[in-house]
Structure 1
């Protein structure tokens, strides 16, 4: 073999090694739920170091916005309801701003002040009858996004009513997965998935060069999938009532409560939303569960970059017009 060919052979080996990627996965508990983190990197050490950075970033966000942590900025806001405005980081302020926009376009069907709702509905099998109309009305007395006062100049949040609370259970995990995806892309990590309890941000492709495959669970048989959707550089979120619900007089009542009325969502068993951003997708899937099929689709039409797959309580499959996957029979 000539010297020239030897160098060519060596160059090809180096190129091959430099292009190889290693996929590493880790599951951990963060923000009160399960996070599955998958990172594709040049070697195992790099992948594991980046997973640790993702966990550190999610922990940082949790310490800012988790209302069950008494030292978080959101908890400080809640503790000072009716007392005084609380200065928060711009990150927390802008997340609150976006949440209030969702409240406005859903007419209160989505509301971060749901955290003040009395937990009168029980989904642990202990409920034998529906709460009274009076109890339901009283349960949402402290809920109302219009009583959240934002001061953009001073970056403060003020809750007007004593006992009011805000919480980011419906947006926080999606926000965290989006932030971590952006952080990894900035570092040059070409592919991965961050899944926070069903709020999923993806980028790049699998080691074999194919898109990531996202399975959509059959809500009536959670051991089976109703379809598999290929995705890269996007987000997927699912909201559903198939694990927590009660039935009275043959009607299913979801654990997802309409914060404007205090009544559980009915009509839809699950909503899966696809789009570029997990925070927005989560806001949409949660809101659509509350609003129902028709109003939910009207809401989705305001977000042309997002599509959805809905399952009704009677097993019908409903897709938005821009949802592209294999055809369904229309009934599970």
Structure 2
């Protein structure tokens, strides 16, 4: 796993949208801002410009609220308080923070630790800036994850507390938290009668409704080995798409490509896959799957996703081959290769 603050992601997803006034008087407004350590592109379709702009303001306020609760980079957040008291005492947190931690631990269980929010305590011994010329020692790799382990995260539902058993442990929700935030923003807008929009967190998108012209939103996908062409176009009316990948951050040692996404249970980088995009109804869940599949690899990843028929994925291997889960036949996927 990896925290978005430690790497930059090249967008593999392109949003095809039309920003214009149409006969039904709906308008589309878009704004880009930096939140939760990354770029957010917010698109709202409304009856007038003022409503659209006010709605974007509300989305930014909601994401900021969530960031102040769960960011492990903000010393005053509840998650930072949990980390500061690792090995000392349980920390009482808000219900939504506790339930987010519960869902994260569920992902750890179903992936046998391929997903683990305690990755935040991992030593950064792998370098992906071009300076690394040899593998770290097995001893150093083992030591790098000695404070990582979801089984040492203790949740008390009665008291709504989180306790990290080992001193030096840390948790961080990373992109999972961003997925949660985009889901919350969609629900907030729907409750207010805003029936169409997109919240795009650094390429991870939650989409609802349609474009002002009545057509579905369309997501274009590019292959990092051929960035000048779109290999698939996926129409989306409701749902989410998230991508995890190593298209910019990786190292090649002894002819083998190592991703910046580290297996939290072993300390070794993931190999075999360059990117994983997951489609489904919930951005938080999709993000958990895309991260996990990068770590699990092709076979184990496909075996995992087939257990959840509401979700499907496209993988790109280290040699540029495009693979898709079998349940993708249920979607309107237009592969161009």
If the length of structure 1 is used for normalisation, what is the TM-score? 0.92
User: Which residue is 1:180 aligned to?
Assistant: 185
User: Which residue is 1:162 aligned to?
Assistant: 167
Cα-to-partner distance string for 1:124-148 (whole Å, 9 max, x where unaligned): 1111111111100000000000000
Give 1:150's match in structure 2, choosing from 125, 143, 155. Answer: 155
Cα shift at 1:232: 1.1
| Alpha carbons 1:26, 1:36 under 8 Å: kept | yes
Q: How do residues 77-116 of structure 1 correspond to structure 2 at under 5 angstroms? A: 77-116=82-121
1:228 & 1:314 partners in 2: Cα distance?
Answer: 21
User: Which residue is 2:125 aligned to?
Assistant: 120
User: Which residue is 1:220 aligned to?
Assistant: 225
1:313 & 1:299 partners in 2: Cα distance?
Answer: 20
Cα shift at 1:302: 1.8
User: Which residue is 2:78 aligned to?
Assistant: 73
1:244 & 1:204 partners in 2: Cα distance?
Answer: 34
User: Which residue is 1:32 aligned to?
Assistant: 37
2:55 & 2:23 partners in 1: Cα distance?
Answer: 18
- After superposition, the CA RMSD in angstroms is 1.4
User: Which residue is 2:286 aligned to?
Assistant: 281
Residue range with higher mean Cα deviation, 241-250 or 75-84: 241-250
Cα shift at 1:170: 3.2
| Alpha carbons 1:256, 1:265 under 8 Å: kept | yes
- RCO (CA 8 Å, sep 6+): is it higher in 1 or 2? 2
Q: How do residues 175-324 of structure 1 correspond to structure 2 at under 5 angstroms? A: 175-323=180-328, 324=331
Q: Does 1:326 align with 2:334?
A: yes
1:71 & 1:327 partners in 2: Cα distance?
Answer: 46
2:203 & 2:124 partners in 1: Cα distance?
Answer: 23
The SS at the match of 1:171 is helix
Cα shift at 1:308: 0.6
Higher radius of gyration, 1 or 2: 1
Structure 1: runs of 5+ lacking an equivalent: 1-16
2:136 & 2:175 partners in 1: Cα distance?
Answer: 24
Residue range with higher mean Cα deviation, 218-227 or 305-314: 218-227
| Alpha carbons 2:197, 2:209 under 8 Å: kept | yes
Cα shift at 1:225: 2.1
Structure 2: runs of 5+ lacking an equivalent: 1-21
1:120 & 1:223 partners in 2: Cα distance?
Answer: 34
The SS at the match of 1:170 is helix
1:165 & 1:327 partners in 2: Cα distance?
Answer: 41
2:251 & 2:245 partners in 1: Cα distance?
Answer: 13
Give 1:46's match in structure 2, choosing from 29, 51, 55. Answer: 51
The number of equivalent residue pairs is 314
| Alpha carbons 2:276, 2:313 under 8 Å: kept | yes
1:143 & 1:33 partners in 2: Cα distance?
Answer: 24
| Alpha carbons 2:240, 2:283 under 8 Å: kept | yes
The SS at the match of 1:183 is helix
The SS at the match of 1:322 is helix
Cα shift at 1:275: 0.3
